[in-house]
Amino acid sequence: MRVRIAPLFAAVSGLMLGSCATTGEPPTAVAPSAALSEPSPASTAVAPETARAAGVQLGPSFASLKIGSESAARALAAFKISCPALLERRDASELTVSSDWAAACAAAANWPQSRAVDFFTRHFETVQVGDGSAFATGYFEPRIAGSRTRRPGYEVPVYGVPDDLVEADLGLFSDSLTGRRIRGRVEKRRFVPYHDRAAIEDGALAGRGLEIAWAADPVALFFLEVQGSGQLQLPDGGIMRIGYAGQNGREFVAIGRLMRERNLLSGGVTMQSITAWIRANPEEGRRLMRENKSYVFFRELTGPGPLGALGLPVTPRASVAADPKFVPLGAPVVLATDRPEANGLWVAQDTGGAIKGPNRFDTFWGPGDEAGRIAGSMTARGRSYLLLPKHTVARIQAGLNDASASQ
C-alpha cells in the first residue's frame, strides 16, 4: 500500500454523495474562544488549502465535551498505534511538528485504558478549524464471495497494481506544482491517462497475470473497491483479506449523487438502496458504475488490517478518515453530530478521495453486516474539534505574531 489510503474513496456515503458541503444548522455546541488565525482575504474566493488558511480557533475544554469512557478507551488504543507515525510524519495541515506529540505519546505508552478520559484531559486542548461545521459519513470492511483461482462462479478478476501504471510527481518539474501527482502510462513515448473502469472491465489488463483473486459478483467487488479494503470468503471457508494497493488515477464519480440528480431513487440514498437499484436494473446499473472511471487495485493483507493511510491498522469505531491538509494524521478528533452513533472521540488514521476539506470525516465501523448497515446510512452533521497537544496552540499563536511583526 502506498502512503495514500485504505480506503482511497472511503465512505459509502462518499460514493453516494461525493465530497458534499455541510448544509443545515449544526447542533448547539460550546462556543470557541478567540481566533488564533483568520483566513486570508483571498480565501473568501477560493477554498482554503490548509487548516491555517481555513482559520483556527481555540475550542472548549475537553472535559466540557463529556466524552464517554468507552469512546475514550477505544481512541486511546488507536492513538497508541498512531504515535510512531506522529513522531516521524510531516504534518500537511501546518498545525503541528513531530516534537509536539512527544510528551503525549510517551505518556500514552503505559496509560491504563480505564483512565483514558483523564489522559486526553491532561494532554490535549481542543481546536476548531474553520467554522467547525462537520459532515461525517461511514465506511466498513465488506466480506464478499471470492476465490484465489478462477473457477465456475468466480469470474470477476481482482487485480494487483499493473507494472505500466506510472505516478508522476509534478513538483519535480515546477515548484508551483509541489505536492501534485498524476498517474498514467506511457504509450508511444507519450504520457497518457491510464485505462478507465470500462476499459479494464472489457479486458485491458487480461492475460497479464495481474489477478490476485477472482470475485463472484461484480457489483459486490465494486462496493468493496469503494471501501478500499475487504475480505474474500473463499470456497473452502477460509478468508483472504485484501487491501488498497493503487488506483488508476482516473476521476472518482459518486454514483449515488448521479442517481439522486437523475431521480432514480424514490427514497433515501444509501448503500443498500443503490445496490438494490443496480441489481434490479443490471444493464443500466453496469453503465452507471462505469461512469465512475476510477479503478482500485489490491494486494493481499497477511497481517493486521485493514490498513489506513499511515500504513497502520485502523480500529473499528475509533478510526476516522480525514483530509490531512486540515487534520494531522494520527490526531484525535471529537465529533458532536445529529447521529448519536458517530459522536465521541475518534483518531484520524485514514484518508479518502471523497474526504476533502475542513471538518469532513469518514468513520470506520469494522467488518460485518451491522457495520455495513451503520456505514451505509451514515450521514451525520454537527460540529467537530481537533485535539492537539497542550501548548501547541501557544506555539502557533507565537508564530503568527512573529510573522505579523515582520511584515
Specify the 3-state DSSP secondary structure of 261: helix
Q: Which residue positions in the chain have pLDDT lower than 70?
A: 1-46, 398-407
For 300, counting Cβ atoms within 10 Å of its Cβ (0-12 exposed, 13-18 middle, 19+ buried), the class is: middle
Handedness of CA 369, 225, 51, 85 (dihedral sign): positive
Q: Where are the domains of the chain?
A: 12-138+306-406, 143-301
How far is residue 318's CA from residue 116's CA, in Å, rounded to a whole number?
Answer: 13
Q: Are 18 and 354 in contact (CB under 8 A)?
A: yes
What are the pLDDT digits (tens) for 20-31? 322 222 222 222
pLDDT of residue 399: 61
| Residue 4 pLDDT | 32
Cα(137)–Cα(139) distance, rounded to whole angstroms?
Answer: 7
Pairing of strands 190-192, 211-215: unpaired
Angle between helical axes of 282-290 and 271-280 (0-180°, round to 10): 120
Cα 403 to Cα 19, 34, 107, 237, 325, distances in angstroms: 33, 18, 33, 62, 21
| Beta-bridge mates of residue 240 | 232
pLDDT of amino acid 46:
61
E-only strand ranges, 4-142: 35-37, 56-58, 124-129, 133-141
E strand or H helix that includes residue 167: strand 166-169
CATH for 12-138+306-406, options being 3.40.50.150, 3.40.50.620, 2.40.40.10, 3.90.25.10: 2.40.40.10
Residue 239 CA to its chain's centroid (Å): 24
**Which pTM value belongs to this model?**
0.72
Report the C-alpha gap between 181 and 378 in whole angstroms.
Answer: 31
Sign of CA dihedral 188, 3, 158, 196: negative
Distance from C-alpha of 268 to C-alpha of 263, rounded to nearest angstrom: 11
58: phi then psi, degrees, rounded to nearest 5:
-65, 145
The hierarchical CATH code for the domain 143-301 is 2.40.240.50
Q: Do residues 51 and 326 lie in contact, with contact meaning Cβ atoms separated by under 8 Å? A: yes
Cell of 243: 487491501
How would DSSP label each residue in 72-108? HHHHHHHHHHHHHHHTTS--TTSS--GGGGHHHHHHH
